[in-house]
Amino acid sequence: MQIASTQQLSPPPRLRRGALRVTPLGGLGEIGRNMTVFEHEGKLLVVDCGVLFPEDHQPGVDVILPDFASLRERLGDVVGIVLTHGHEDHIGGVPYLLRERRDIPVIGSRLTLAFVEAKLKEHRITPSTVHVEAGDTHTAGPFGLEFVAVNHSIPDGLAVAIRTAAGLVLHTGDFKMDQFPLDDRITDLRHFARLGEEGVDLFLTDSTNAEVPGFTMSEQELSPAIDQVFATAPRRIIVSSFASHVHRIQQILDAAHAHGRKVGFVGRSMVRNMGIARDLGYLTVPRGLVVDAQKLESMPDDKVTLICTGSQGEPMAALARMANGDHQIRLTEGDTVLLASSLIPGNETAIYGLINKLTDRGARVVHKGNAKVHVSGHASAGELVYCYNIVRPRNVMPVHGESKHLRANAELAIRTGVPADRVVIARDGVVVDLVDGTATIVGAVQADYIYVDGQTVGHADEQTLDERRALRDNGVLTVVAIVDVPGARLAEPLEFVGKGVAVSPETLQGVTRDVEQALAKAPRQALEDVDSLDDLVRKAVDRSLRRKTRQGPVVIAVVVEA
């Protein structure tokens, strides 16, 4: 294996004529912010441009973008953005990229374009779009594109084959191989096979579930468990899922219809997306089934189904507010909550907390931990192996995954016979060139985490987050010192403003005494310069507190001369 994480990498050399360069700017090292840039004959093609949702160690961040730094000077060379499907981790960064150049053509299937257009509208951007469907071909500069149907946890997913003089690339996007999908649109393995026979020089494939042995269950197999919930729920049913999971919502609608319940959608994104899906014919809604959520309040509890977001424990979503008792929908003993969604790693604490709160309100909570109400949207190891054997690629580059997923996927490729030295474990920013049929790591470009925080993009950086983590663990203590400089003493006792600090008044009195001593002992010149006086007071407070309480709040010293 070529493993980027064990190498020191420099900026890449100039791309050789006729060669193809592949630079992942996101999604290799994390599940999210997927983005890959292809370069050939001076032109650039972007595949996906998603966001990553922050984890606990990235506090206060709204979303994380790929780093566009390496593109910025060459925006004019970009011939298009291909979107493989409409999930946030593949389309969420598009508004930020189009802010830098508005007229980059956005290429995708009908539902994908509808979702990204709705998002762009919020940013007041009207994109140039190119509508493609499975089987279509499209030429973008020197890149010949061909689209292949794949299924996933959102309809209308596409893999993309990219033909250049350097060879044929196949990028799966996110996919699974459900043989009985609700819309009968299976992953087109015959198309994969045709491309394989033509000769796939580089295969980029979804690593998310590469560690999961066996095969991902079909969506159809969830129907009995969902039906069971509807057959036995004595009162209301509240279903929480992703606002993009059209097929899961279809299953819920079908079950509600079969059991004589009405359905209300709750929450802006759910209402918006289901409207789009219905208008475009991806969601089939029996006449009279869906009613205004407000109307449901006057109906008998056992005729009510509510569908909302919030299955990941997001604190502002409808479900979390119901669990906390501050939503107009009040849960009571006998209500059933169905979490028809995955448990995204990193959200466990939030989700378990949500389940406990819902339980405390008397609701029965049905979730993937106690019933078969969810299947993953990604191909497991068993399916990935089929893919490798059908495509028989010359070079492999696992995408969409953390290090452990990429490695597991690489090992699967090798087990199917791909030579180990043709399997490249890259990471964000690592540049891979395909030259004469061989993929090689040639360098790296900048690929930092770009944090969106309120209205700022890229302003919060690693130092900001370091400081937030320090504040989180220890709080902050602002100290105002009125110093009599000639006397080398405090003119008044220190004034303290603490936030998130647990210190007693007695301790603070002791700190004042320690600062007095530090001033008295300080060399003359330390007192005469404002900055060094700040520094002296700050350090004395810090030292004193650590000794007295073993606590280390962030200390901000404000020194004013008396």
- Binding region for its own copies (CB under 8 A) out of 192-200, 245-253, 291-299, 551-559: 551-559
**Residue 557 CB, nearest approach to its own copies (Å):** 9
Q: Which residues pair with 44 in a beta bridge?
A: 39, 78
**Contact residue for its own copies among 504, 513, 523, 529 (CB under 8 A):** 504
- Cα dihedral 246→229→236→242 (10° resolution): -20
* Cβ nearer to its own copies, comparing 297 with 467: 467
Chain residues 468-497 in contact with its own copies, contact rule CB under 8 A = 468-476, 478, 480, 495, 497
Total number of residues binding its own copies (CB under 8 A)?
69
Q: Between residues 276 and 366, which has the closer beta carbon with respect to its own copies? A: 366
Report how far Cα 491 is from the mean position of its chain's Cα atoms: 53
Of the candidate residues 338, 501, 508, 540, the single one contacting its own copies (CB under 8 A): 501
Catalytic residue among 67, 178, 188, 206: 206
Binding residue for its own copies (CB under 8 A) from 117, 136, 211, 301?
211
Binding mask 393-412 for its own copies (x = CB under 8 A): ---------xxx--x-----
Query: Which secondary-structure segment (H or E) carries 247?
Result: helix 246-258
Closest CA to 252 of 280, 272, 279, 233: 233
191 is catalytic: no
Annotated active-site residue 405? The verdict is no
Q: Which of 84, 93, 42, 44 is nearest to 449 (CA)?
A: 93
What residues from 424 to 463 belong to the interface with its own copies (CB under 8 A)?
Answer: 451, 453-456, 459-461
Backbone angles phi, psi at 233, to 5 degrees: -70, 125
Residue 258 touches its own copies, criterion: CB under 8 A: no
Q: What is the rounded CA–CA span in Å between residue 239 and residue 295?
A: 17
Biggest alpha carbon–alpha carbon distance for the chain = 88
Please provide the DSSP assignment of 423-485 as one string.
BEE--TTEEEEEETTEEEEEEE-----EEEETTEES-S-HHHHHHHHHHHHH-EEEEEEEEET
Cβ partners under 8 Å of residue 268, min gap 6:
none
**Residues 126, 128, 356, 509: which binds its own copies (CB under 8 A)?**
356
Q: What is the 3-state secondary structure (H, E, C) of 484-547?
A: ECCCCEECCCCEEEEECCCCCHHHHHHHHHHHHHHHHHCCHHHHHCHHHHHHHHHHHHHHHHHH
Q: Which is nearer to its own copies, 199 or 500 (CB)?
A: 500
Q: Give the footprint of its own copies on this chain (CB under 8 A).
A: 3, 5-6, 29, 55-57, 59-60, 211, 213, 333, 345-346, 348-349, 352, 355-357, 359-362, 365, 369-370, 402-404, 407, 451, 453-456, 459-461, 464-465, 467-476, 478, 480, 495, 497, 499-504, 548-551, 554, 556, 558, 560
Residues with catalytic roles: 206, 378
Where is the binding site, in residues?
Answer: 60, 62, 85, 87, 89-90, 152, 174, 243-245, 374-378, 400, 453
Where is the binding site for Ca(2+), in residues?
Answer: 60, 62, 453
Where is the binding site for Zn(2+), in residues?
Answer: 85, 87, 89-90, 152, 174, 400
Where is the binding site for substrate, in residues?
Answer: 243-245, 374-378
